[in-house]
Chains A and B, each alone.
Chain A
């Protein structure tokens, strides 16, 4: 399967979780952490969060908004939205393939 969010190394998975978290609207760092934790059941460390945020911002996939107090919200860019949608479609296809091989119906 082609990697859809390129050049993020070990931050590829946290980056995907962050993009999904931002897909329903802008969030600041702590809101992303709690949202990811609620969605996956696994903690996202603050250091990992900001390492992934920095990489996503450099690649133009998210953009920083004006901070409110010291909290700076981030939101998806059009590029980030496109790449996220493509990656999720690929993951869905891959999941379907795996479930079919297991003899179980998707969904």
Chain B
């Protein structure tokens, strides 16, 4: 009887589930309810498997974008730590500028990739909120890259680039927007609860302290001895927040486990 019922399912379904399904059917005598349920489900399996190919491809694409976003966020976090840390340690000395610029450009590109991958994941549930939070840091990243490209192309930080703003100013506006936008992204990530809320909180903290540090610097509110400490905390939080979100993204999209620990058998 069980073998006959199993034959009703598609071959692809049997290849995956037949053994365990048969063991379930053998656990207790089959009643009319069970037989009817299996007959309907066999029909459903035939219909469902027709659409499974497309669904499988979609799922693979989704997991891939999530993983790419996760790896990009981790590497971006490390690069932000290197670039921004060097800025604090050397206090903007000219000797570190060329390689620091290069590292920052790569960090911005990777942050953009991370934003895209992680937003695609979170947008499944809260599309409007997620894409609104994506827009600010993504647009800012592009603005910062334009500023960096202009500086690299002309070697002149003071030349007017857009609407009277110099290349340096455009780059700085983009960077600040990226920091503030990362705070918005962190806020949405906290709200959505799909990735690590702790990492989102750390990233959000980094964005807030960045605003405080910049505002304090321009308004002279931060004592000169306290400035580097505040900036260090800011950079650590910003870098750690992105890396933490990347790690949690990889955990969420991790491979199928092969250990039966704790199974009820």
Residues in A lying within 8 Å of B, measured CB to CB:
6, 25-31, 33, 43, 45-51, 54-55, 58-60, 63-73, 75, 77-79, 82, 85-86
Contacts and interface: CB of A to CB of B under 8 A. Distances in A.
B24 A66 contact: no
B263 A63 contact: no
B42 A26 contact: no
B40 A63 contact: no
B260 A33 contact: no
9 contacts: A25-B263, A31-B265, A47-B42, A48-B41, A50-B17, A51-B45, A54-B45, A58-B55, A85-B193
Nearest to A7: B55
B7 interface: no
B258 A51 contact: no
B234 to A, nearest CB: 29
A86 to B, nearest CB: 7
Per DSSP, are chain B's interface residues mostly helix, strand or loop, or mixed?
helix
B260 A66 contact: yes
Nearest to B41: A47
A72 B20 contact: yes
Contacts, number: 117
Interface residues of B, number: 46
B257 A28 contact: no
Given A45-B34, A51-B41, A64 B256 contact: yes
A68 B37 contact: no
Contacts of A54: 13, 16-17, 45, 48
A59 to B, nearest CB: 7
A47 B38 CA distance: 4
Contacts of A46: 21, 24-25, 34, 37-38, 41
Given A58-B52, A71-B20, A45 B260 contact: no
A29 B257 CA distance: 17
B263 A33 contact: no
A66 B27 CA distance: 20
A50 B52 contact: no
Contacts of A33: 24
B257 A71 contact: no
A47 B6 CA distance: 10
Given A30-B23, A45-B33, A58 B258 contact: no
A64 to B, nearest CB: 6
Contact of A51 (B48, B63, B263, B264): B48
Contacts of B259: 65-66
B246 to A, nearest CB: 14
A73 B38 contact: no
B223 interface: no
A79 B252 contact: yes
B29 interface: no
B19 A28 contact: no
Contact of A71 (B23, B124, B125): B23
A78 B24 CA distance: 26
B39 interface: yes
Contacts of B260: 26, 65-66, 68, 73
Contacts of A31: 264-265
A28 B59 contact: no
Contacts of B253: 60
